[in-house]
């Protein structure tokens, strides 16, 4: 798939290329509507047989600033947002200066010649085709003075439609959906700008690319797809999971989840409230969960840290709760709009005392929908808090995925009040399942739900035997859960030289790296973990079948070269050949980058495989 794009020296400018997939990077300022045109392209791709994945950066300041949107669309399985762009669209000189690097050799530079002056020597050297289009002045011509700021993005959409022969009817329909509810002139102008871009002659460029929009094979049924960001998927997944109450405090990049739920939950007789702080957020969610209403809270790293005392309560009192952490760069306020996977330690350990909880991590946008349903199921079946990790990259990127089958995924895990003869909330012979208040207990003994260590009825007890038994009860249920978890699927052979282990948003990149390495004759395998606590069965066996295991993650390494998950796995299985590839630049891995990091790591450090060394003798 990717090799067809490699442009052998000397053939550029002449031979037309057929692309299976294309990466378009649009660079401008945030107020240019780049995000919205990117989102429309993604939605269009989702409405065709194309796969799509996007990536965007937004400035941390509200007032605007450089911004990009990258769309990767194609006919194969699009796994990542793509490395080098096939087409770079540069609105300004700074866009050109900052992003020319990201354009592949032999690619196309489409630039606003009103604002950008490219260095033609460099372009020639890199066999890049320059396509100057006076976008600003043309848009002003079409729309009048307002076109200087508005409409350029839609003009660009027309240009892209022309280049990739996208279905114009679909685009017109989409514009009608997006602008239809506004003043009539808005849609009219958008259509004008679109047609202008579509009609503008960039004929030459067409000869360098032919991009066929994939068509269905004979007898193949069209798959309806939904196109959304990870944060949207998370919100809808929560609704499908049966969440009917939420409470949280805003923080980037978590906020859109709560905004979406705030708007949507009332339609399901639910509610999502904005609380005064994160402590109140988790407390209110726990209150609803205690009431038998499936509930959630969420935040990013700083807020999860604040919630930790209540997480320990949820463990102790055995209250089912979904806690989302959309990770960003840390520590402290850190890098609010960058990606990092550095909250794993916090997710696993936030809270005091022995406080076993479940931790899951979404691998992509689709996962945000489906895995959050699994998280809510586990929370309710085991009466335990479940921490659900997403990250900035998944939160903001747009993917298309098959329309979920709602008959099978929509759940109603809430607990209704009942009438019981008698009731012990913390009975030792079963997994705790609270009767919600409102339940009538006929023997007249009403239950206490408490954060103090307690006996089976919920009465405080500092008795050693009780504490031991209850601590074990809270631990054992996770052992029971672990046995039910699916062994993660291995991509590639089940034994060999190198196994890459991933979690979270790195899945697509790791898979593309494995595929690309395979095309060059290197045989790597990969496994992606969604259940981070408890870990699924079979991992130790799997790890033993490889000479080397490298955990790829976006966080910092310890003195053994291990990132946060690598350290957990190394400790869990006492396997010294588990190591890591980590990074802290606040950006997602690129495929090329990952491949060279793998090569470096494999070359530089000899594999520590083999039987673990004798334990050190510390006696004097």
Partner 1 sequence: MVHTVNDTPMCAEPRPPLTRADLKADRPTWCPGCGDFSVLAIYHKLLEKKNLPQESIVTLSGIGCSSRFPYFVNTHSVHFIHGRILPFATGLSLSRPDLHPIVFIGDGDAYSIGGNHFDHCARKNVRLMVVVMDNQVYGLTKKQTSPTSPVGFKSKTDPWGSKVAPINPTKKLVSSGATFVARTAASNPNHMLEMMEAALEHDGFSVVECFSECVQFNPGSFDAAVPRKGGSYPPVPADHDITDEEEAYALTREPFPGYFGIYYKVDRPTLNETETGLAADPVSDSDPDAVRSRLEASLRRLT
Q: Can you give 530-591 as a three-state secondary structure string?
A: CEEECCCCCHHHHHHCEEEEEEEECCCCCCCCCCHHHHHHHHHHCCCCEEEEECCCCCCCCH
Q: Structure tokens of 91?
A: 């609105």
Give the integer Cα–Cα distance in Å for 197 and 159: 5
The H or E element that residue 333 is part of is none
Does residue 25 bind partner 1 (CB under 8 A)?
no
Examine residue 449 and tell whether it contacts partner 1 (CB under 8 A): yes
- Closer by beta carbon to partner 1, 228 or else 359: 228
If the CB atoms of residues 28 and 458 are measured against partner 1, the closer one turns out to be 458
**Least distance from C-beta 309 to partner 1, angstroms?**
6
Nearer to partner 1, 377 or 597 (CB): 377
Report d(CA 70, CA 72) in Å as an integer.
7
Tell me which residues in 162-181 interact with partner 1 (CB under 8 A).
none
* Of residues 239 and 371, the one with the C-beta less far from partner 1: 239
Q: Which of 33, 118, 281, 320 binds partner 1 (CB under 8 A)?
A: 281
Q: How many amino acids of this chain bind partner 1 (CB under 8 A)?
A: 75
CB of 239 or CB of 565, closer to partner 1 = 239
Tokens of 507: 């899945």
Q: Of 3, 407, 464, 619, which one interacts with partner 1 (CB under 8 A)?
A: 407
Of 119, 212, 277, 354, the one binding partner 1 (CB under 8 A) is 277
Nearer to partner 1, 51 or 553 (CB): 51
What's the closest the beta carbon of residue 224 comes to partner 1, in angstroms?
6
In degrees, to the nearest 5, what angle opens at C-alpha 476 toward C-alphas 474 and 479? 125
User: Does 353 help bind partner 1 (rule: CB under 8 A)?
Assistant: no
CA 616 to chain CA centroid, Å, is: 42
Least distance to partner 1, CB of residue 304, Å: 16
Q: What is the DSSP letter of 292?
A: T
CB half-sphere exposure, 457, CA atoms < 13 A:
9
Q: In the structure encoding, which two tokens stand for residue 3, read together? A: 């090799």
Cα gap 376→374, rounded to integer Å: 5
> Cα separation of 595 and 615, whole Å?
35
Q: Which is nearer to partner 1, 62 or 221 (CB)?
A: 221
Q: Mark the segment that binds partner 1 (CB under 8 A) among 67-75, 236-244, 485-493, 612-620.
A: 236-244
CA atoms within 13 A on the CB side of 284: 19
Query: x/- contact string, 237-266, with partner 1 (CB under 8 A)?
Result: --xx-x-xx-x----------------x-x
What is the 8-class DSSP label of residue 102?
Answer: G
Of 120, 420, 428, 574, the residue at the interface with partner 1 (CB under 8 A) is 420
Residue of the chain from 446, 467, 547, 587 that contacts partner 1 (CB under 8 A): 446
For the bound state, the minimum distance from the C-beta of residue 451 to partner 1, rounded and expressed in Å, comes to: 6
Stretch that binds partner 1, among 21-29, 133-141, 418-426, 581-589 (CB under 8 A): 418-426
**Rounded Cα distance, 55 and 277, in Å:** 30
The residue from 414, 504, 534, 563 that contacts partner 1 (CB under 8 A) is 414
Q: What are phi and psi of 590, to 5 degrees?
A: -105, 155
Residue span 203-232 as binding mask against partner 1, x where in contact by CB under 8 A, dash where not: ---------------------xxxxx---x
Confirm if 339 and 301 have CB atoms less than 8 A apart. Answer: no
Q: Work out the angle at residue 507's Cα, subtended by the Cα atoms of residues 517 and 397, and round it to the nearest 5 degrees.
A: 120
Q: Identify residues 305-334 at the interface with partner 1 (CB under 8 A).
A: 309-310, 313
Nearer Cβ to partner 1, position 59 or 438?
Answer: 438
Shortest Cβ 458–partner 1 spacing (Å): 8
CA distances from 45 to 49, 72, 224, 387, 393 (A): 7, 9, 12, 32, 20
Element (H, E) at 215: none
Max CA-CA distance within the chain? 89
Nearer to partner 1, 410 or 472 (CB): 410
Which 283-302 residues touch partner 1, going by CB under 8 A?
A: 283-293, 295
First-to-last C-alpha distance (Å) of the chain: 62
Q: Does 416 bind partner 1 (CB under 8 A)?
A: yes
Beta strands in 4-128 (DSSP E): 17-19, 21-29, 51-57, 66-74, 85-90, 103-112
382 touches partner 1 by CB under 8 A: no
| Residue 161, token pair as written in the block | 């439609």
DSSP state for residue 115 in the 8-state scheme: T
Residue 490 within binding range of partner 1, rule CB under 8 A: no
- Least separation, in Å, of the C-beta of 351 and partner 1? 11
Is the Cβ–Cβ distance between 244 and 268 less than 8 Å?
yes
Count CB neighbours of 72 within 10 A. 28
Which 541-570 residues touch partner 1, going by CB under 8 A? none
Binding status of residue 267 toward partner 1 by CB under 8 A? yes
Which residue of 76, 124, 204, 403 would you call a contact of partner 1, by CB under 8 A? 403
User: Is position 46 an interface residue for partner 1 (rule: CB under 8 A)?
Assistant: yes
Cα separation, 526 vs 523, in Å, equals 10
In sequence order, the β-bridge partners of residue 358 are 386
Segment 453 to 472, residues that bind partner 1, using CB under 8 A: 459-460
276 is a contact residue toward partner 1 (CB under 8 A): yes
Q: Judged by CB under 8 A, does residue 182 bind partner 1?
A: no
Phi-psi region of 279 (alpha: psi -120 to 50; beta: other; left: phi over 0): alpha
Residues 581-610 that bind partner 1 (CB under 8 A): none
Which residues in the 187-206 window bind partner 1 by CB under 8 A?
none
The position carrying tokens 């079948």 is 545
- Under rule CB under 8 A, residue 88 binds partner 1: no
Q: In angstroms, what is the minimal distance from the CB of 420 to partner 1?
A: 5
């Amino acid at each position: 798939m990717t090799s067809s794009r490699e442009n052998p020296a000397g053939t550029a400018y002449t031979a037309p290329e057929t692309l299976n997939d294309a990466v378009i990077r649009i660079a401008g300022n945030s107020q240019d509507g780049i995000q919205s045109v990117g989102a429309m392209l993604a939605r269009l791709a989702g409405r065709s047989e194309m796969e799509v994945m996007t990536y965007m950066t937004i400035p941390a300041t509200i007032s605007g600033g450089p911004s990009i949107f990258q769309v990767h669309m194609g006919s194969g399985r699009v796994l990542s947002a793509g490395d080098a762009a096939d087409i770079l669209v540069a609105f300004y000189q700074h866009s050109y200066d900052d992003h020319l690097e990201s354009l592949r050799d032999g690619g196309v530079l489409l630039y606003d010649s009103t604002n950008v002056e490219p260095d033609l020597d460099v372009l020639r050297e890199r066999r890049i085709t320059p396509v100057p289009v006076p976008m600003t002045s043309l848009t002003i011509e079409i729309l009048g003075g307002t076109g200087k700021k508005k409409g350029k993005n839609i003009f660009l959409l027309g240009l892209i439609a022309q280049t990739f022969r996208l279905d114009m009817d679909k685009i017109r329909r989409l514009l009608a959906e997006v602008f239809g509810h506004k003043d009539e002139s808005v849609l009219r102008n958008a259509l004008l700008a679109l047609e202008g871009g579509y009609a503008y002659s960039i004929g030459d460029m067409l000869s360098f690319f032919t991009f066929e929009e994939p068509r269905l094979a004979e007898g193949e049924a069209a798959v309806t797809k939904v196109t959304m960001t990870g944060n949207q998927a998370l919100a809808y997944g929560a609704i499908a999971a049966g969440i009917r109450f939420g409470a949280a405090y805003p923080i980037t990049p978590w906020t859109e989840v709560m905004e979406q739920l705030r708007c949507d939950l009332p339609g399901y007789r639910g509610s999502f409230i904005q609380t005064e702080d994160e402590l109140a957020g988790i407390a209110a969610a726990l209150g609803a969960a205690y009431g038998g209403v499936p509930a959630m809270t969420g935040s990013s790293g700083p807020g999860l840290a604040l919630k930790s005392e209540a997480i320990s309560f949820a463990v102790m009192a055995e209250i089912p709760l979904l806690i989302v952490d959309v990770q960003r760069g840390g520590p402290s306020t850190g890098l609010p709009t960058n990606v990092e996977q550095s909250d794993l330690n916090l997710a696993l350990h936030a809270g005091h005392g022995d406080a076993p909880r479940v931790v899951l991590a979404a691998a992509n946008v689709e996962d945000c929908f489906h895995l959050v349903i699994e998280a809510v199921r586990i929370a309710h079946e085991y009466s335990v808090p479940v921490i659900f990790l997403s990250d900035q990259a998944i939160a903001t990127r747009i993917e298309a995925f098959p329309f979920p089958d709602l008959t099978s995924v929509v759940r109603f895990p809430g607990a209704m009040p009942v009438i019981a003869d008698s009731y012990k909330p913390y009975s030792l012979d079963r997994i705790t399942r609270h009767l919600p208040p409102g339940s009538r207990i006929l023997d007249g003994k009403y239950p206490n739900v408490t954060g103090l260590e307690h006996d089976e009825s919920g009465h405080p007890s500092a008795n050693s035997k009780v504490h031991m038994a209850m601590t074990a009860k809270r631990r054992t249920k996770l052992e029971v859960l672990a046995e039910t978890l699916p062994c993660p699927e291995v991509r590639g052979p089940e034994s060999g030289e190198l196994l890459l282990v991933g979690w979270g948003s790195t899945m697509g990149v790791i898979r593309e790296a494995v595929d690309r390495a395979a095309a060059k004759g290197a045989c790597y395998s990969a496994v992606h973990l969604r259940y981070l606590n408890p870990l699924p069965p079979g991992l130790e066996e799997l790890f033993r079948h490889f000479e080397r295991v490298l955990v790829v993650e976006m966080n910092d390494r310890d003195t053994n070269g291990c990132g946060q998950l690598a350290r957990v796995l190394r400790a869990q299985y006492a396997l010294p050949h588990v190591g890591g590839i980590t990074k802290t630049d606040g950006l997602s891995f690129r495929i090329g980058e990952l491949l060279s990091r793998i090569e470096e790591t494999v070359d530089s450090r000899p594999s520590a495989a083999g039987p673990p060394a004798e334990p050190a003798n510390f006696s004097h």
